[in-house]
A and B are shown apart, each in its own frame.
Chain A
Amino acid sequence: MGDFLYEKDLRMMQYNILTSARHNGVAAAIAGHYGLKKQEVLRMMMERMDMILLENLPARYEVWQATGDAGDETERKLGCELISRYVPLADPQAIDRICADAKERIRKGTPKDEALSEGLQNIREMLRT
């Protein structure tokens, strides 16, 4: 692809946004939730989001903590709405599939912890690709 007239490498500026204390906290929390490295999460955010969304991540994360995934415990543990709507790193449909899958397995009798850890594993794989 040819060079755009006005396009510029913005990664340094995106990184500057993410260096603030609040953003760092959000990245660390998401990394902890899904068992990823913080640097990986930062890279994903920089690749998949525009700059205003990056700025708004702490507020969105707070909204999720307060009201997101409220109905269902499995969804809360997996952070379905967190990763697809509030911090949109992944495709909502794929996340819904993983979530439904985990719920189905719990219903069929798989121990809860096992199903949840497998769901988190699936989300982690999907985020990495």
Chain B
Amino acid sequence: MKKVVDVSLPIGPLHPCFKEPARIKCETRGEFVLSAEVELGYVKKGIERIMRGRPWQEVMFLAERICGICSVIHNMTFIETVEQLSDIAVPDRAALLRVVVNELDRIQSHVLANFSYCYTIEHETLAMYLLNLRETAMDMLELITGARVTCAYMIPGGVRFDLRPEDRQTLERSLTHIDTEIARFTAMFKNGPLIGLRSRGIGILTREAALEAHAVGPTARASGIAEDMRLRHPTYRKLGFEPVVYTEGDNYARIMVRFDEVRQSIRLIQTCLEMLPEGLIRGGGSVVAGEATYVGEAPRGELTYFVKTDDYGRIVDISVQTPSIMNIEACAHYMLTGVTSAADVTSTFISADPCVACTER
């Protein structure tokens, strides 16, 4: 990939727009980006190596700390993998409560991603509105699980805490609040002429490129690939779930997919609350030897866990494939090629919602 070009433009590792360290090396002609490379290793902790040989009770907390933004889905996918390989059943109430917490996490993650994008294109007003709205979702997470970021809410066979009736009312009120606010912000984003100029037609990821790089999640759905792992999840199927798909494949579409998914998540939680039966929140069961591959839908896309356990419930082998790996790759090698201005490099990168901590683990 070494080429002789006009300018090699390094961005990062520390950059005002990036929440996390990553270094993008752009080969440019003037400001026109010819190709880009991403250099990593800034947050490589080797979590999979630490996980091996430890009991699942420890690995559960390590899995959650692969990514702080989408910690709930890492917890959920790991636990569901373990449940699958040892045939542990989950009570109905617990399965629905999992969806409630997972969708709350998706709301806060998507709102954070859109905050980052608005902040990067210097639309600070909308960014701050969104960040304030995110606090409402964080409050609800804290109300149900007891923690803001690392909740460890799900355990094999169920969830830790029940939803109390008074909390349920607060949750319903907050969801209505988020719903009205997000509708307003979506309209702001949709109708803002300057936002449109900075977002439409920039950083285009074609359907073919998305398929080649195996892009997932909102990034793929903005390029017209109707792929969502929630379609395969038994609980979500009961809720009647349909993925949000845009076909433009530019920055604007990616942000709009996230806005629409936030509203969809609110609907899903409301449906869950309506369907919520009385009953146990924890079943029984013990982790046995076996191996399983399980795919869940993280806010950023499909998250694959391969877990192999022994008779004592220790993790013999584990490998995690996080969605950001595919999305950052698609971003670096397809979206950034042909970006006409260096200012759009950061906004395009952020629009793919990169999570470097996930990528490197």
Given A53-B329, A53-B333, A55-B329, answer yes or no on A13-B214 (Cβ-Cβ < 8 Å): no
How many residues on chain A are close to B (CB under 8 Å)? 24
Report whether A55 and B40 are in contact in the complex, using a CB–CB cutoff of 8 Å. Answer: yes
CB-based A-B contact count at 8 angstroms: 67
Residue among B213, B329, B359, B360 with max Cβ neighbours from chain A (10 Å): B329
Given A10, A63, A67, A86, which contacts B39 in the complex, CB threshold below 8 Å? Answer: A10
Interface check B44, CB cutoff 8 A: yes
Given B38, B46, B212, B326, which contacts A85 in the complex, CB threshold below 8 Å? Answer: B212
Interface residues of B in 331-361 (CB under 8 A from A): 332-333, 359-360
Given A56-B326, A59-B321, answer yes or no on A51-B41 (Cβ-Cβ < 8 Å): yes
Report whether B319 and A52 are in contact in the complex, using a CB–CB cutoff of 8 Å. Answer: no
Interface check A16, CB cutoff 8 A: yes
Interface check A119, CB cutoff 8 A: no
Return B132 CB to nearest CB of chain A, in Å: 33
Given B48, B214, B317, B332, which contacts A52 in the complex, CB threshold below 8 Å? Answer: B332
Interface check A105, CB cutoff 8 A: no
Interface string of B182-213 (1 = CB under 8 A from A): 00000000000000000000000000000111
Interface check A113, CB cutoff 8 A: no
Taking Cβ atoms with an 8 Å cutoff, the residues of A that contact B are 6, 10, 13, 16-17, 20-22, 48-53, 55-56, 58-60, 62-63, 67, 85-86
Report whether A60 and B319 are in contact in the complex, using a CB–CB cutoff of 8 Å. Answer: no
Which A residues lie within 8 Å of B329 (CB)? 52-53, 55-56
Interface check B10, CB cutoff 8 A: yes
Report whether A56 and B212 are in contact in the complex, using a CB–CB cutoff of 8 Å. Answer: no
Given B38, B46, B325, B360, which contacts A50 in the complex, CB threshold below 8 Å? Answer: B38
Given A20, A48, A49, A59, which contacts B48 in the complex, CB threshold below 8 Å? Answer: A20
In the bound assembly, the distance between CA atoms of A6 and B321 in angstroms comes to 30
Return A111 CB to nearest CB of chain B, in Å: 33
Report whether B214 and A62 are in contact in the complex, using a CB–CB cutoff of 8 Å. Answer: yes
Interface check B20, CB cutoff 8 A: no
Which B residues lie within 8 Å of A51 (CB)? 38-41
Which B residues lie within 8 Å of A49 (CB)? 1
Given B39, B41, B319, B332, which contacts A20 in the complex, CB threshold below 8 Å? Answer: B319
Which B residues lie within 8 Å of A55 (CB)? 40, 325, 329, 359-360
Report whether B319 and A59 are in contact in the complex, using a CB–CB cutoff of 8 Å. Answer: no
Report whether B48 and A60 are in contact in the complex, using a CB–CB cutoff of 8 Å. Answer: no
Interface check B328, CB cutoff 8 A: yes
Given A49-B1, A52-B359, A55-B359, answer yes or no on A60-B40 (Cβ-Cβ < 8 Å): no
Interface check B37, CB cutoff 8 A: yes
User: In the complex, which residue of chain B has the Cβ closest to the Cβ of A23?
Assistant: B319
Report whether A86 and B325 are in contact in the complex, using a CB–CB cutoff of 8 Å. Answer: no
Which A residues lie within 8 Å of B40 (CB)? 13, 17, 51-52, 55
Report whether A67 and B48 are in contact in the complex, using a CB–CB cutoff of 8 Å. Answer: no
Report whether B211 and A56 are in contact in the complex, using a CB–CB cutoff of 8 Å. Answer: no
In the bound assembly, the distance between CA atoms of A67 and B211 in angstroms comes to 9
Q: 10 nearest interchain CB pairs?
A: A13-B41, A50-B37, A56-B329, A52-B38, A59-B214, A51-B40, A55-B325, A21-B319, A63-B214, A52-B329
User: In the complex, which residue of chain B has the Cβ closest to the Cβ of A16?
Assistant: B44
In the bound assembly, the distance between CA atoms of A50 and B332 in angstroms comes to 10
In the bound assembly, the distance between CA atoms of A115 and B64 in angstroms comes to 51
In the bound assembly, the distance between CA atoms of A61 and B73 in angstroms comes to 25
